[in-house]
Amino acid sequence: MNTKSFVFLFTGLIGVTTINSSASVQAQAQMKQQQSITPKFISSEQTGQLKLLGDGKPFIPPSLGRNAKPNEGNSRGIPTGIDNRIPMLSRKYPWSTIGRIQGTTADARGYYCTGTLIYDNLVLTNAHCVIDPETGKRSTKIQFMPNVIDKNYEDIADVETVIYGTDFKQRSHINPNDWAIMKINQPLGRKYGYLGLKSIPTATLVSNPKAFFFVGYSSDFPDDKYQKYLSAGPGWTASYEAGCSIVKEEAGLLFHNCATARGSSGGGIIGVINGDPYIVALNNAEWKNLRTGQDIINSAVKVSTITQALGGK
């Protein structure tokens, strides 16, 4: 890819000025009780042969229930066809595993990204959602809120430890190690479940077009057309898009055509394998034409990059 003709934009680190102001009473009470936790950062190179707990397999809490429709329970009467994406409204699995990451940068700015539970207390996201890729400075506070819908959620957890794939010291826009696993201070995966991780050869991914779906808390969704149905505004309800394709691999990254925008970094590109949902790639950036500003394609981190860095196969 000729990077002189394209501009590379991380699809995370979208700024916000306040923490959720209309969360549930339970969540607000938890926030008041929790002491601020400054995350500990550990390079994947320092972890050695770290075994990924759960062996990368999905978990569905028996009491939670499961539904294949992300807009299940659409009591708001939201019509289809407003956007090529639809709002994630279901509280059931697997939608329950996906959440909003909210952080504070070293210079006290707020931002958000997307993350997914992959074990009881582990959340997968991008490294650039916890480390500023321009300065290399680390976030001073990071929280995870699973299953946020129109700014409503039940639980919020603080991040205690971050294992990261890169600290961006190489200053390269093409960074195949843009991933991070965050350990949170509550075992929310037991309540909300978690997705599996599956390393699949690129040739297999490419040869199965429109086989994947993507969920992310994008800054351009829900837009004004949804205002009468979802009042909280962009970034507070995740969008779902079916029929995504992974089109190629280049420079260690996968390239895909799922709709992304700032805030959706860290969202998983998900495939259903033997009836269960697995993250097969990790969205991390979008590429735009320098002259027109038009979206060209989006990139994603390979799951094999993550598992191999953690000592897996």
Q: What percent of the chain has pLDDT over 70?
A: 82
Q: What is the pLDDT of residue 312?
A: 61
Q: What is the pLDDT of residue 231?
A: 93
Region 67-79 average pLDDT: 87
Confidence of residue 172 (pLDDT cuts 50, 70, 90): low
Provide the residue count of the chain: 313
Q: What is the pLDDT of residue 51?
A: 59
Q: What is the mean pLDDT of the chain?
A: 86
Radius of gyration (C-alpha) of the chain in whole angstroms? 18
Confidence of residue 295 (pLDDT cuts 50, 70, 90): low
Between CA 273 and CA 161 the distance in angstroms is 30
Q: What percent of the chain has pLDDT over 90?
A: 69
Q: What is the pLDDT of residue 5?
A: 41
Q: Are 118 and 194 in contact (CB under 8 A)?
A: yes
Between CA 40 and CA 130 the distance in angstroms is 11
Q: What is the pLDDT of residue 32?
A: 41
**277 is written with which tokens?**
């949902």
Q: Are 220 and 261 in contact (CB under 8 A)?
A: yes
Whether pLDDT at 162 is above 90: yes
| Residue 304 identity | S
Q: What is the pLDDT of residue 289?
A: 67
Pairing of strands 196-197, 212-216: unpaired
Region 35-63 average pLDDT: 81
Of 1-5, 52-56, 214-218, the least confident: 1-5
Q: Which strand (E) or helix (H) includes residue 308?
A: helix 303-309
Per-domain residue ranges of the chain: 3-68+83-309
Handedness of CA 44, 47, 51, 57 (dihedral sign): negative
Question: What are the tens digits of pLDDT across the range 83-141?
Answer: 889 999 999 999 999 999 999 999 999 999 999 999 999 999 999 999 999 899 999 99
Region 176-199 average pLDDT: 96
Whether pLDDT at 149 is above 80: yes
Between CA 285 and CA 267 the distance in angstroms is 11
**Domain 3-68+83-309 has what CATH class?**
mainly beta
Q: What is the pLDDT of residue 25?
A: 33
Between CA 90 and CA 78 the distance in angstroms is 13
Q: Are 70 and 86 in contact (CB under 8 A)?
A: yes
Region 178-187 average pLDDT: 96
Q: What is the pLDDT of residue 250?
A: 93
Q: What is the pLDDT of residue 21?
A: 29
What is each CA distance from 200 to 236, 265, 278, in whole angstroms? Answer: 31, 21, 10
Q: What is the pLDDT of residue 297?
A: 86
Between CA 205 and CA 75 the distance in angstroms is 36
Do you find a cis peptide bond into 222, omega within 30 degrees of 0?
Answer: yes
Instruction: Name the range with the highest mean pLDDT among 71-80, 109-118, 220-229.
Output: 109-118
Between CA 11 and CA 300 the distance in angstroms is 11
Nearest to 198 by CA among 54, 44, 20: 54
Confidence of residue 2 (pLDDT cuts 50, 70, 90): very low
What is each CA distance from 178 to 4, 81, 152, 163, in whole angstroms? Answer: 21, 33, 29, 11
Q: What is the pLDDT of residue 6?
A: 43
pTM over cut 0.85: yes
| Residue 186 identity | Q
